């Protein structure tokens, strides 16, 4: 078996394990059942500073059921009619949910919601361009770390199928592309 196939098999196995492990692990309150009792999983923690070189970093995508999609970078990009919005390392628009809470960070999108609005998961460091690093953090989600901006948990919309799309903007009057400040982007678009 060549090395590339081995790596792809390992990534697929890891993604399956994470998705299966996430099934049934949420207690429905937006907090992590597996978190130790002494810690508060709803408290946002800063994201570690990235190493000085990050060439070759890439994202692995999983979908739904709290499995999330992994990103290594966030960038501010101008979107027609919306001003600057934040995108991931693949250029996909990131969103915030009005029912979530920024202080302390708490997610409320769970179960079927995460099949449409995919949590943005980070491993350690996140590169930034046009987004203030001090505004980034994480909130615990089913044993993973969901990226936050100004306290707001971040998501990708399943209806955005290509970089630069903002099909989730204003959905149900609760979902908005997030601006680099953490505020909702303009409501037109």
CA 138 to chain centre: 9
Bridge partners (DSSP) of residue 66 are none
pLDDT value for 115: 97
Domain locations in the chain as residue ranges: 3-177
The pLDDT value given to residue 68: 80
> What pLDDT sits at residue 186?
80
**What integer pLDDT is reported at residue 9 of this predicted model?**
52
pLDDT at res. 42: 42
pLDDT at 16: 44
For 62-130, the DSSP string reads --STT--EE-SEEEEEEETTTEEEEEETTS-B-EEETTSEETTEE----TTHHHHEEEEEE-SB-EEES
Average pLDDT of adjacent 10-residue blocks, the chain of 189 residues: 50 44 39 36 43 31 60 94 95 98 97 97 93 97 96 98 97 97 80
Asked if 169 and 177 touch (Cβ cutoff 8 Å), the reply is yes
């Amino acid at each position: 078996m060549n090395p590339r196939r081995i790596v792809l098999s390992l990534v697929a196995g890891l993604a399956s394990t994470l998705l299966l492990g996430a099934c049934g692990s949420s207690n429905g309150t937006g907090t992590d059942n597996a978190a130790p009792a002494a810690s508060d999983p709803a408290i946002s923690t800063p994201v570690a500073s990235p190493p000085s070189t990050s060439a070759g970093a890439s994202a692995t995508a999983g979908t739904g059921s709290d499995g999330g999609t992994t990103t290594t970078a966030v960038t501010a990009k101008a979107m027609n009619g919306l001003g600057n919005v934040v995108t991931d390392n693949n250029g996909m628009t990131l969103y915030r949910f009005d029912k979530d809470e920024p202080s302390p960070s708490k997610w409320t999108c769970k179960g079927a919601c995460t099949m449409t609005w995919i949590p943005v998961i980070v491993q350690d460091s996140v590169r930034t361009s046009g987004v203030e690093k001090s505004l980034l953090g994480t909130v615990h989600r089913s044993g993973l770390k969901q990226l936050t901006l100004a306290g707001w948990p971040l998501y990708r919309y399943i209806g955005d199928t290509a970089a630069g799309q903002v099909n989730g903007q204003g959905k149900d009057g609760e979902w908005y592309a997030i601006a680099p400040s953490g505020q909702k982007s303009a409501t037109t678009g």
